[in-house]
Amino acid sequence: MGANPFKTDPSAWVRRFVPLVRPGGAVLDLACGGGRHSRLFLDHGHPVTAIDRDVTQARMAEGAELIAADLEDGSPWPLAGRRFAAVVITNYLWRPLFPILRDSLEPDGVLLYETFALGNEAFGRPRNPDHLLARGELLRLTEGLTVVAYQDGVEAAHKVVQRICALNGPGPATLF
């Protein structure tokens, strides 16, 4: 039996911002992989829609609405008209999705995004610049959202990442 190619612990970045998501609000876990973030939000009482090219590997997402979709093949967005209290994406980058992701957020919805950036090629995969964010690119791609937190740089000398937590709107007054 081969090793599980998917991480099982939720990202510390994503865990940090779970309290910003409206209680009971629907969450979209895009490129869900094994479902670790789906499980995190399901365990916090959120209904979850999990999308991946191959949802048969999303074992941790049991209880979520699973949608198999190739988001890069030019097919229509499978969730047209649906809005979410949070959209979560980790370790995935397809730049044409950013306008759709913004449109998929409810007012005050939370975007949690974490993926690799240029410089990561020195540490391993991914190495293709198409899959690596340029310096500050995540900030530019999320323009119009209210940034709660942002990171860009080397993490523990083994990868280069960018992360953002951003709100669709000014956010609750208690945040600031």
Rounded to 5 degrees, what angle do the CA atoms 52, 54, 57 make?
Answer: 100
Residue 12 has pLDDT above 90, yes or no: yes
- Cis omega (within 30 of 0) for bond into 170: no
**Greatest CA span in the chain, whole angstroms?**
51
Residue 4 has pLDDT above 70, yes or no: no
Query: Could you tell me which residues come within 8 angstroms of residue 102 by beta carbon, excluding any fewer than 6 positions away?
Result: 111, 142, 144, 145, 168
Question: At residue 153, what are phi and psi to the nearest 5 degrees?
Answer: 160, -170
Q: Are 29 and 88 in contact (CB under 8 A)?
A: yes
Q: What pLDDT does residue 157 have?
A: 66
Q: List b or e across 64-85, with b for residues whose CB sees 16 or more CB atoms inside 10 angstroms.
A: bebeebebeeeeeeebeeebbb
Question: At residue 113, what are phi and psi to the nearest 5 degrees?
Answer: -130, 135
pLDDT digit string (tens) for 47-76?
999 999 999 999 999 999 999 999 999 999
Domains with residue ranges and CATH for the chain? 22-175 (3.40.50.150)
Confidence of residue 7 (pLDDT cuts 50, 70, 90): confident
Residue 6 has pLDDT above 50, yes or no: yes
